């Protein structure tokens, strides 16, 4: 398993890598307990340097191994930072049911961070550097992934890798037809662009020739990964799959988090399953051939994520904002994989957007609908300045759809409870909340303002 959805997340790395600081940050993002093994040992035995002096390093390693095993014995997934020398305890990390992430640091940076401290193994620089050299292959041998910062650890925990799309391998390759033509991909199954119907799912089910140990690889936009992921979730009661999103919407949103679905005539994503991909491989070079209209679709999701995060992510370069958006969504989905709480915030603007899309028969581009929905949600939130920012960035224009059809679609929204419309609003950028307290008349008026 290449992710930590239902498993402990263990951080390894040399002294000075920042395991305590990064581990605490990641645990808070994922809503998990954080165990710093060195701090736990100190709370029981006193200062580690004293323990080294009185008992020796080998005795310390035995104590450390016991605490690591105890931390990983808990049923609820947690984040665990182990000491830099835990890799020297024979087979300790290999025997754990955990995703092990190596927190990278170069030896010069590590030495600058720990020199002059009371760490027992950081007193002699030459010995420190030699120990770093000796441990490097041990870290490599136990690590399932590598990271340099909290975002990198979250991405690793979600099974997200930034790599060339050709690195994704499996027994069945499902590819959007346009992508296959653009990149000369030899697919076992081609999908019509934008198609995610039950009929297309049935065609794919019936054409698959794999067993339950097989992996399905899906290359394409959000429709392709949604459909192929749903087929993987249901074929033989579930096979592994790898998502390779080729659009900006897919890379920052749609292919992350394990939601898979197909559409019905009555609405989007009404039939689906939660099926976390074994890996999500993001290759930002695939965006180079993206039509401008589809880039605008994705930019609407980038703006949404920035509003939720309270950071103007859209001001970053493309690879940077793709990474930041992917990490933000991954963290939310890891702490709420079945969409029962925090994950609802990701629907900011989408209640209005989905209503407009449905009323148009899905002729309105997703990005345009989301842009309109974001501006509407911000107006309802009383954040007029932020609404103007959205309008400046995304230039949404009212759409020509039937008002009654849009209102009916909004009332059918799958997030509604007992007929009450639920909206995601913002107290301020970075402070989302979900409410059913907005009067239907006001919601209807705001929706009508989005229609030409």
CA distance 407 to 425: 19
Among 262, 222, 268, residue whose Cα is nearest residue 243: 222
Token pair of 286, please? Answer: 């695939």
Instruction: Tell me the pLDDT tens digit for each residue of 157-207.
Output: 999 999 999 999 999 999 999 999 999 988 889 999 888 999 999 999 999
- Decide if pLDDT at 420 tops 80: no
Lowest mean pLDDT among 230-234, 289-293, 299-303: 289-293
pLDDT of amino acid 68: 87
pTM value? 0.93
Confidence of residue 338 (pLDDT cuts 50, 70, 90): very high
Dihedral over Cα of 179, 271, 275, 417: its sign: positive
Please say whether the beta carbons of 321 and 302 come within 8 A. yes
Per DSSP (E only), the strands in 133-188 are 145-147, 160-162, 172-176
Confidence of residue 449 (pLDDT cuts 50, 70, 90): very high
Please say whether the beta carbons of 76 and 33 come within 8 A. yes
Between residues 303 and 366, the one the model is more confident about: 303
Average pLDDT value over all residues in the chain = 92
pLDDT of amino acid 72: 86
pLDDT of amino acid 418: 63
CA distance 301 to 71: 38
Mean per-residue pLDDT, 353-381: 92
Confidence of residue 120 (pLDDT cuts 50, 70, 90): confident
Instruction: Tell me the pLDDT tens digit for each residue of 56-88.
Output: 878 888 888 888 888 888 888 999 999 888 888
Ordered structural domains, the chain, with CATH: 8-150 (3.40.50.300), 165-290 (3.40.50.1970), 342-448 (1.20.1090.10)
pLDDT of amino acid 318: 96
Could you write out the three-class secondary structure of 12-69? Answer: ECCCCCCHHHHHHHHHHHHCCCEEEHHHHHHHHHCCHHHHHHHHCHHHHHHHHHHHHH
Mean per-residue pLDDT, 131-143: 93
Mean per-residue pLDDT, 29-47: 89
- Decide if pLDDT at 36 tops 80: yes
- Decide if pLDDT at 268 tops 70: yes
Confidence of residue 264 (pLDDT cuts 50, 70, 90): confident
CA distance 240 to 223: 18
pLDDT of amino acid 74: 80
Pairing assessment for the beta strands 431-435 and 423-428 based on DSSP bridges? antiparallel
Please say whether the beta carbons of 256 and 162 come within 8 A. no
Between residues 154 and 90, the one the model is more confident about: 154
- Decide if pLDDT at 415 tops 80: no
Partners of 260 in the beta sheet? 273
- Decide if pLDDT at 263 tops 80: yes
């Amino acid at each position: 398993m290449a992710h930590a959805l239902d498993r402990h997340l263990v951080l390894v790395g040399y002294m000075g890598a920042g395991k305590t600081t990064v581990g605490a940050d990641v645990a808070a993002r994922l809503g998990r307990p954080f165990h710093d093994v060195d701090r736990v040992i100190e709370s029981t035995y006193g200062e580690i340097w004293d323990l080294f002096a009185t008992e020796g390093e080998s005795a310390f390693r035995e104590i450390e191994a016991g605490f690591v095993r105890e931390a990983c014995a808990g049923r609820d997934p947690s984040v665990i930072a182990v000491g830099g020398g835990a890799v020297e305890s024979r087979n300790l990390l290999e025997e754990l049911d955990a995703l092990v992430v190596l927190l990278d640091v170069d030896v010069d940076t590590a030495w600058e961070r720990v020199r002059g401290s009371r760490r027992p193994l950081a007193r002699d620089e030459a010995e420190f550097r030699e120990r770093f050299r000796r441990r490097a292959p041990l870290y490599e041998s136990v690590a399932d992934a590598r990271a340099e910062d909290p975002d990198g650890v979250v991405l690793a925990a979600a099974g997200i890798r930034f790599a060339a799309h050709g690195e994704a391998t499996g027994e069945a390759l499902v590819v959007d037809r346009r992508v296959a033509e653009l990149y000369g991909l030899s697919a076992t199954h081609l999908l019509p662009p934008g198609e995610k119907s039950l009929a297309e799912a049935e065609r794919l089910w019936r054409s698959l020739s794999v067993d339950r140990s097989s992996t399905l690889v899906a290359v394409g936009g959000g429709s392709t990964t949604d459909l192929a992921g749903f087929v993987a979730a249901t074929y033989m009661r579930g096979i592994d799959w790898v998502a390779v999103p080729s659009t900006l919407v897919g890379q920052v949103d749609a292919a992350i988090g394990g939601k898979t679905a197909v559409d019905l005539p009555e609405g989007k994503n009404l039939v689906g399953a939660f099926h976390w991909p074994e890996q999500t491989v993001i290759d930002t070079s695939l965006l180079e051939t993206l039509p401008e209209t589809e880039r605008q679709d994705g930019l609407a999701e980038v703006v949404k994520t920035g509003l939720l995060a309270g950071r103007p992510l859209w001001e970053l370069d493309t690879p940077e904002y793709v990474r930041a958006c992917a990490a933000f969504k991954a963290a939310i989905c890891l702490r709420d994989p079945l969409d029962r709480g925090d994950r609802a915030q990701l629907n900011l603007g989408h209640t209005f957007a989905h209503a407009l899309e449905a009323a148009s028969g899905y002729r309105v581009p997703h990005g345009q609908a989301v842009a309109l929905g974001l501006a509407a949600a911000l107006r309802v939130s009383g954040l007029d300045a932020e609404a103007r920012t959205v309008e400046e960035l995304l230039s949404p224009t009212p759409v020509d759809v039937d008002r009654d059809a849009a209102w009916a679609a909004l009332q059918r929204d799958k997030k509604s409870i007992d007929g009450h419309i639920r909206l995601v609003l913002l107290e301020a950028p970075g402070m989302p909340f979900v409410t059913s307290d907005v009067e239907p008349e006001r919601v209807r008026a705001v929706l009508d303002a989005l229609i030409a």
